[in-house]
Amino acid sequence: MLSPEEKARYSRHLIIPGVGMEGQIRLKNASVLLIGTGGLGSPAALYLAAAGVGRLGLIDPDTVDVSNLQRQLLHTDSAVGKSKLDSAAARLRETNPHIELVLHPVRFTPENALSIANGYDIILDGSDNFPTRFLANDTAFFLKKPLVYGAIHRFDGQMTVFAPHLGSPCYRCLLPESPAPGAVPSCNEAGVLGVLPGIIGSLQAMEAIKLILGAGEPPLGNILIYDALKTTFRSLRLPHDPSCRLCGSAPTITSVSNAETNASASCAVTDPNMKAITASELKDMLAADDFNALLIDVREPEEYDVINIPQAKLVPLQTIPTYAKNLPKDTRIILHCKAGMRSAKACEYLSSLGFTDVTNVTGGMDAFQRL
Ligand SMILES: [Zn+2]
């Protein structure tokens, strides 16, 4: 039952037909696991806590960085450098002291996924990388729990509920396997307008609450696409893939530990033959009198304008093929980007054209800036 204080707190819920006392008690007895307390997890956690969802589990191994604050509203300036979970817990306890918070200060991995997620009714994916999204999907599938999915990129967002046990497709029906490293920029490399995760994360909180209340219809088999620049929401049919390796008729994925979930979420270069130097080595080379390499920055002009290495020539990744046509194949080339992933892609490309002296700067501008 609800205490008098809780009745007062949730009075605007209690007077909604279809929620009422029964719905509020359902919320109180429910549990949601949030993977990540970043851009999506922040609004989702705040709304779920405020709504009185009785037990919230939070997974996040990271610490608060100043670059998070532009969009991750759970965290404040005074929390920079502190653990994200401590920061989130303090903020959520301020929002609602009547709920239980369970903190999992670990990375969500194939080893711990089932045991952590098994303790919750609903999984809400606020992650920003493909291996974790696949892991959230596969975990929800094997545990037969609904997965509230959200993703963002620059000005676009998408949201749906995956629940194959309720007749919907799964994330792998949408994306059968991981994109090649470098094909899609990681959240670290791609920009995102701060309010966008606020919108998508809030939609995720709404779907979680609807699932708990049994209110309305979850978007099973549809995916909601938000285009901030055009100010449009579109609901697209997302069909079940009969040949899906997880939820199809002849599945080949039988465990949460598989190629996609075990892939590295980092931007590290994996090609062992690629020549690489650290940002610190680059700095020393630039300081030497005999520096004679062509240093190329493959980022976008907007990124170059914010900060750049004066000796670097700006050649955005897509224009590398045109630019390379006029270069002798034995040119000594050093490439960098923001974090080292796009430049690694450029290195691979130039090597494939027959360039013989191509080097990547590990960690890119981010590492260079920290020197
Ligand atoms: Zn599927």
Annotated catalytic, 187? yes
Question: Dihedral angle at the C-alpha atoms of 27, 165, 37, 179, nearest 10 degrees?
Answer: -160
Q: Are 224 and 300 members of one domain?
A: no
1, exposed or middle or buried, with CB in 10 Å at 0-12, 13-18, 19+? exposed
Residue 176 sits in a domain whose CATH number is: 3.40.50.720
Lowest mean pLDDT among 44-53, 105-114, 262-271, 354-363: 262-271
- Among 191, 218, 237, the domain boundary falls at 237
The H-assigned helical ranges of 75-127 are 84-95, 113-117
* Catalytic hit among 173, 247, 267, 337: 337
Q: Are 285 and 200 members of one domain?
A: no
Residue 299 sits in a domain whose CATH number is: 3.40.250.10
pLDDT digits (tens, 9 = 90+) for 116-141: 999 999 999 999 888 999 999 999 99
Rounded Cα–Cα distance for residues 54 and 37 (Å):
18
- Over the chain, what is the mean pLDDT? 92
Q: Are 119 and 214 members of one domain?
A: yes
Q: How far is the CA of 167 from the centre of ligand 1 (A)?
A: 11
The predicted pLDDT at position 129 comes to 87
Task: Indicate the SS3 state at residue 303.
Answer: helix
- Cβ atoms of 264 and 270 closer than 8 Å: yes
The predicted pLDDT at position 189 comes to 62
The predicted model scores a pTM of 0.79
Annotated catalytic, 173? no
Q: Are 126 and 226 members of one domain?
A: yes
Q: What is the mean pLDDT of residues 162-170?
A: 96
Is the predicted pLDDT of residue 187 greater than 50, yes or no? no
Q: How far is the CA of 116 from the centre of ligand 1 (A)?
A: 22
Q: Are 48 and 125 members of one domain?
A: yes
Number of domains in the chain: 2
The predicted pLDDT at position 273 comes to 72
- Among 208, 237, 266, the domain boundary falls at 237
Rounded Cα–Cα distance for residues 210 and 230 (Å):
27
Q: How far is the CA of 243 from the centre of ligand 1 (A)?
A: 8
Q: What is the DSSP letter of 253?
A: -
**Residues 6 or more apart whose Cβ sits within 8 Å of residue 143:** 114, 117, 118
Q: How far is the CA of 144 from the centre of ligand 1 (A)?
A: 13
Domain limits at 334? Answer: 275-368
pLDDT digits (tens, 9 = 90+) for 40-65: 999 999 999 999 999 999 999 999 99
Is the predicted pLDDT of residue 259 greater than 50, yes or no? yes
